[in-house]
Amino acid sequence: MKLNSKYKPIKQLFLLIVVLMSQSVFAIEKSSSMLFNSDKTQIISANFDAGSVSLLNRENGDIEKEVTIGRDIRRIALTQDEQLLLATDYLNDQVVLLDAKTLATKQVTQVPSRPFGVVFDVNNQQFYVTSFERDKLLVIDRKGEVTQVLATASTPRGLALTDDGRLLVTHALSGEVSIYDVTNSTPQLIKVVQLVDTPAHKEKTTPQGKPRLLDNIVISPDGQQAWLPHVLWSFGHDFQFQSTVFPTVSILDLEPGNEHEIVDERKQLFKQINIIESGNRIRIVSNPHDGVFTEDGKKVIFTLAGSEDLMVFDLSRQGKKNKKRHRRKKFQGGVKATQIFRNVPGDNPRGILVVGRELYVQNAMSLDIAKFDTGAVGPFAKVKLIQANFANLVSADPLPKQLRRGKTLFNRANMADNPKFPMAGDFWMSCNSCHLDGFNFTNRQLMEDGKKDRFKNAVTGHVDVRKMIAGDPVGAYIDIIQKTQGGMGGDPREDDMPPVNVEQPPLEAVKMMMALNEYVRSPENLPYLSTWLRLDDNKRYTHPDEWVNSAECSDCHTTIYDQWADSNHGMNMDHPYYRFQEDVAAQSEGEEFRVLCRGCHAPQMVINGDNKPFSDFGDMREKGGKSLKVALAHGQSVNERGTGCVFCHRVTKAENAGGNTDMTVNLKDRESYVFEDAKNSMLKWLSEKQINAMPAPHKASYSNPELYQSSLYCATCHNEFTTGQGANVNDNFGEWLASPFNAPGNPAQHKTCIDCHMTQDVTNFDNKVGGQSTNNGPMKSNLRSHHLVGGNYFFTGMRNPEHKKMSIDILKTALSLEVEKQGNQFTAKVTNVNSGHDMPGGARRQVWLEVIATDANGKQVFTSGVMQNGVIPKDAHKFIKVGVDKDGKPVGLRFWRYVKIGKDTRIKSGETRNEVFDLPDNAQYPLTVSTRVLYQVFAKGLTDKVRAAYPDEHIPDPEVIELQAVTKTYAMNNGQNQNVTSKASSSH
């Protein structure tokens, strides 16, 4: 039957409704720093370190509204009804919910560290946010409240939603993409796609390495592909600008259930990114950041944040992949870059938006927008600039000019911006190509990816750093830029650009480096340069009056104070050995380098800006923190030379950047009682009565159990790496992670640092001894000892015999000793049974075997490891790590200058070491063999040097401790035991 024409419009309307109803309510969305409103009349901008959000008129670029909401606004997401806007405040660890029309703040919510990406899910009416540092995916409702926290793979950063209800999450420093099903309100992980490493190549300048810095996801209009701009890190050799970082774009096939990387279509330099410019040179680009498809899907355009360019792929010129291709004709990797628009106006292009042919590029450092034309339809149409400074994002840049210049230089690889003194050679890489967002926890991944055979090359960063940076920041930065980035005349191909003289740089280069240093020393980076210690405050330094004298804590926490005061963490850490080592550092690299040592040994001095050489000693024999009590009695402020109560108990964050005091301390936000800071004793008494009456705020201010229980808390100081060069000096944390003690799935076996080093019974870590941490306070079932017991029995022994005994006791539990004899071959089996790190730990400890064989006549017929005049023989079987320079010479006290490991015979946790000795053939039996494991905290050679430097300190010899001993008598030379005369541990 033929339908009458008058019913055709009704039929067409019905079919349209059916189609619309059958379509998903999802839409393709991506996390972005710039958005359009629904009718495209406004641009909404997240203004990065300006800390604000702006509404801009799309027609003329005028600012219609700008509101400061935080510190570093990275991404924004808009609800479909345009009522709400959620912004991630990256450095304030919060998200801010705004009224999208007025930008009025509706809710501020604290979230796990470094929130970055954010998208809005229309179907479930909720936001998704990535916590970059804490490996979390957050679900946030329309009220701005966190409703779900999901653990993810490491370093989640970029976000995108497909139109069929899948959420894509990039993992910036692991090269992964997680895919979640979000058709329901609780995200369900479907799979994790690992981007492949581009294989190593004998030519180091050929693109190769690990996918890193995945900030953004660009989904094609048809939803079939995701394009991922990133770089490749190739750190398997010494840093050099043409062989360390490569720009790359990877592509995922988004077929549901079969999501995978299209490996042979990866876009790489010299292959699919291969624009030839004048002089027959390849146009080099750096730091691909974000991208966008044109509305017709014919082009995809990427911002290049380092070289400050745009890169265009014209998909209409893409060849088809022919499955019947002849085997000798390789597939050429799909579409190639068809245009690189060199020198985008402004500084550091990141965000990108398109509507019709209008393209808007957001510059993060100059805080403005450049406007482009994407070009007419056709394979040869080019992107063209319409207006260089189309819009300012802010009315005024809140950063000081010097800081802004330094941060811009840090992100810059554009040679055109500083033609006489470029930051990079041939546009290749910026500081940010490796140090993502500055100096932070991402340093850990740099060091991990830079690991090589440490016996050949332990350096994971810059090579042969000048004066360890602190001694000469200007010269050090120029030197690093030349060697690593090819800038400052470091590109050998640039004949007309000779290397800048590092010793006497031109004034303009000096000004640039001073600005760069201002950024490096900004609060979120390295404010004290050589140490990673940070103060959570708007100022760099505090005054001694802002600290509480640790002796004041003894009034209520007497037991804890007494334990701490005589410990190695207590006062008078400025002992002669420490002072001698710090002076060597300053004399070698410059006075500023003292801060590397003080960050851990005297952090309060660093934060107070007291970095002068020590003019006097505390008394290393002083008992009970007497000098602190005297200062308290006289109302005097002190610069505590140790790690005091307030310092440790106001650590709010462990950075996990590799050590070197990578922690944050907060003084300003602790709860304070009336008269708490008063010097008058009566007022002080009133303050203490308030604390006793209402202890909860006090406890909350000085207690962070989750942090204290984490071994990462201790790793902030007990892990060390060389400044700039990134060679690992001490890796106690990494050793513990690899040890049997790190067993979170087995509570009976699992032990963190404080389970061994802050327990009352150091001979049995499972014996929880109770006690009171507060005078007349509640009895705790497991009182955490503040003896802070470790391997340095020497200094604590001068102050307190109890401390000395505990140090020796814990040492004796660490190793076991067994021996056996087969013929003339004698084997000592030493096992690290009870130390969660390599044994010995620390920097100067000595552990070795002493073996003495006595024949039937009482004559010593064999010896090994017997000290001569207090010195261990060179041929002794020692358990030791030795750092050497490039020529294999031990660096000794200049440990920060080592470049490879000459020897490492330490015993790993759980490992047994078999040390073999050849006994003489002609010995007369019965033969008695005495074997001992011996320990000394400092070698005689070092002690003699320290004594010579400070003769008035009357330094005693550090005694040798017998950790284990076994004596066996063998009746005949057949390995059979006659009897065991002793097996004991004792002082020697």
For the chain, residues classed under CATH 2.130.10.10 are 24-191, 195-322+331-396
With a cut of 60, say whether residue 1 has pLDDT above it: no
DSSP 3-state of 927: strand
Residue 685 has a pLDDT of: 76
CB 160 within 8 A of CB 217: yes
Residue 117 has a pLDDT of: 98
Residue 17 has a pLDDT of: 43
817-855 pLDDT, tens digit per residue, is 999 999 999 999 999 999 999 999 977 899 999 999 999
Residue type, 758: M
With a cut of 60, say whether residue 368 has pLDDT above it: yes
CB 131 within 8 A of CB 115: yes
Residue 677's pLDDT band, with cuts at 50, 70 and 90, is confident
pLDDT-wise least confident of 25-29, 369-373, 797-801, 888-892: 25-29
* % residues pLDDT > 70 (the chain): 94
**CA atoms of 441 and 462, how far apart (whole Å):** 18
**CA atoms of 488 and 285, how far apart (whole Å):** 18
With a cut of 80, say whether residue 26 has pLDDT above it: no
CATH C-level class of 24-191: mainly beta
Residue 920 has a pLDDT of: 96
Count other Cβ atoms within 10 Å, centred on residue 317. Answer: 13
**CA atoms of 981 and 968, how far apart (whole Å):** 6
Q: What are the two backbone dihedrals, phi and then psi, of residue 407, each rounded to the nearest 5 degrees? A: -70, -35
CB 832 within 8 A of CB 909: yes
CB 276 within 8 A of CB 283: yes
Strand partners, 964: 933
**CA atoms of 977 and 509, how far apart (whole Å):** 75
Residue 983 has a pLDDT of: 47
522-571 pLDDT, tens digit per residue, is 999 999 999 999 999 999 999 999 999 999 999 899 999 999 999 999 97
pLDDT-wise least confident of 123-132, 310-319, 426-435, 798-807: 310-319
**CA atoms of 715 and 736, how far apart (whole Å):** 10
With a cut of 50, say whether residue 18 has pLDDT above it: no
Q: Which of the pair, 889 or 27, is modelled with greater confidence?
A: 889
With a cut of 70, say whether residue 976 has pLDDT above it: no
Residue 280 has a pLDDT of: 82
With a cut of 70, say whether residue 332 has pLDDT above it: no
H helices present in 466-574, as ranges: 473-480, 507-520, 550-553, 558-565
With a cut of 90, say whether residue 695 has pLDDT above it: no
Residue 322 has a pLDDT of: 53
Query: How would you classify the pairing of strands 815-822 and 728-731?
Result: unpaired
Tokens for 454? 């440490």
103-136 pLDDT, tens digit per residue, is 999 999 999 999 999 999 999 999 999 999 999 9
Identify how many contiguous H helices and E strands the chain contains and give both numbers: 21, 49
* Cβ within 8 Å of residue 290, ≥6 positions away: 32, 33, 215, 216, 218, 229, 302, 303, 350, 351, 352
Tokens for 731? 């890796």
585-613 pLDDT, tens digit per residue, is 999 999 999 999 999 999 999 999 999 99
Residue 172 has a pLDDT of: 98
Find where tokens 């053939």 sit. Answer: 921
DSSP 3-state of 268: strand
Strand partners, 42: 57
Q: What is the mean pLDDT of residues 681-699?
A: 79
With a cut of 60, say whether residue 987 has pLDDT above it: no
198-238 pLDDT, tens digit per residue, is 999 999 999 999 999 999 999 999 999 999 999 999 999 88
Name the CA dihedral angle for 462, 466, 471, 473, rounded to a multiple of 10 degrees: -70
CATH number of this structure's domain 195-322+331-396: 2.130.10.10
Degrees to nearest 5, angle at CA 525 with 523 and 531? 100
Residue 331's pLDDT band, with cuts at 50, 70 and 90, is low
Tokens for 914? 């078999």
Nearest to 736 by CA among 909, 912, 913, 911: 909
Percentage helix, strand, coil, to 5, in the chain? 20, 30, 50
Residue 972 has a pLDDT of: 84
**CA atoms of 366 and 305, how far apart (whole Å):** 12
CB 179 within 8 A of CB 163: no
**CA atoms of 91 and 111, how far apart (whole Å):** 11
With a cut of 60, say whether residue 321 has pLDDT above it: no
Strand partners, 98: 85, 105
773-821 pLDDT, tens digit per residue, is 999 999 999 999 999 999 999 999 999 999 999 999 999 999 999 999 9
Strand partners, 868: 871
Q: Average pLDDT of the chain?
A: 92
934-968 pLDDT, tens digit per residue, is 999 999 999 999 999 999 999 999 999 999 999 99
Nearest to 33 by CA among 310, 367, 445: 367
